[in-house]
Amino acid sequence: MTATQSTAEAFEREPVEVTERITADGSSRWPVEAGRYRLIVARACPWANRTVIVRRLLGLEPVLSMGIAGPLHDERSWRFHLDPDNRDPVLGIEFLGEAYRAADPDYDAGITVPAMVEIASGRVVTNDYAQLTLDFSSQWAAFHRDGAPDLYPQAHRAEIDEINEQVFRDVNNGVYKAGFAKGQSAYERAYTELFDRLDALSDRLATRRYLVGDTITEADIRLWVTLVRFDAAYHGHFKCNRHKLSEMPVLWAYARDLFQTAGFGDTIDFEQIKQHYYGVHAEINPTGIVPAGPDLTNWLSPHGREELGGRPFGDGTPPGPPPVGEAVPPVG
């Protein structure tokens, strides 16, 4: 199908507003330092999920604590409604917006996860989700665990960056462009671009286990966080319904392969994902009813991707189990 996208009808993602970096090389006012910062995420959010996975794979848990906002929020921002007294136990705040306003009392832009908060001052340092995981790989290298994989190998960075840009535009953000479109033409354009890109990615992954090289990289992480939410949220809630993920054989096997890899499936809480999308977006789902399905046990079924070879962690090793307090409910 063809469609002409109207700017008035199209969803446009707001840019992040707090883009300072935490660096080890003295290039910013925020130095990498063990125990200084707290990573604030939400299990529901794909952008935050990227940081949770990279933090796990690189073994940064001992030096970078993690606060988890609940799946529900309102105009006051993400809130810590799953914690005792509805407050983050380290920062002592009820709403993430409090940390943004600690950095800027007049802050009125998007209050988003992931966010890095300096614990002592309680202020947000950065919410630059696109840069955060790259900095975990580079700037935080001194704190990587023994056996940490190279998720952003120098030799493949140009290829990873190119794929990341395509995946962001058409898939990561594409499902939102379809779901929040205000007109038929904008929706149909986003829908077409999404599935055209998924078809191209399926072709690429039909003969190779991972997107770039023979190991898991940043590119796989960025694609996977959208795929894992596809059937639970985007297929129905965002009208991305040409096919379910489970009806796209290559991408479904690829997604299950990673789900069953340490550091991926053990970061996913499907109930919180559904509670967020169906419970917060009142303009799309005014009843707030959260669907009972889909069946999740098939995420543990054999995928057969080992036949394509590849070394998931390269010369590294899998991460250990999640820290106490960070485990998610098992599937099945």
User: Which residues are tagged catalytic?
Assistant: 45, 176
Q: Which residues, including other chains, have CB under 8 Å from residue 3's CB and lie 6 or more apart?
A: 184, 185, 186, 187, 188, 189, 192
Start-to-end CA distance of the chain, whole Å, equals: 38
Angle formed at CA 281 by CA 78 and CA 189, multiple of 5 degrees: 120
- Residues across the chain: 332
Angle formed at CA 53 by CA 50 and CA 57, multiple of 5 degrees: 140
Radius of gyration from C-alpha coordinates of the chain? 19
What span, in angstroms and rounded, lies between the C-alpha atoms of 299 and 43? 18
Q: Is 224 annotated to bind ligand?
A: no
CB 147 within 8 A of CB 133: no
Angle formed at CA 44 by CA 89 and CA 212, multiple of 5 degrees: 115
What span, in angstroms and rounded, lies between the C-alpha atoms of 193 and 190? 5
Strand duo 37-42 + 65-69: pairing: parallel
The counts of H helices and E strands in the chain are: 10, 8
CB 240 within 8 A of CB 230: yes
What span, in angstroms and rounded, lies between the C-alpha atoms of 207 and 163? 17
Residue 116, SS3 per DSSP: strand
Query: What are the tokens at 244?
Result: 């379910």
Q: Which residue numbers belong to the known binding site for glutathione?
A: 78
Q: Which residue numbers belong to the known binding site?
A: 78
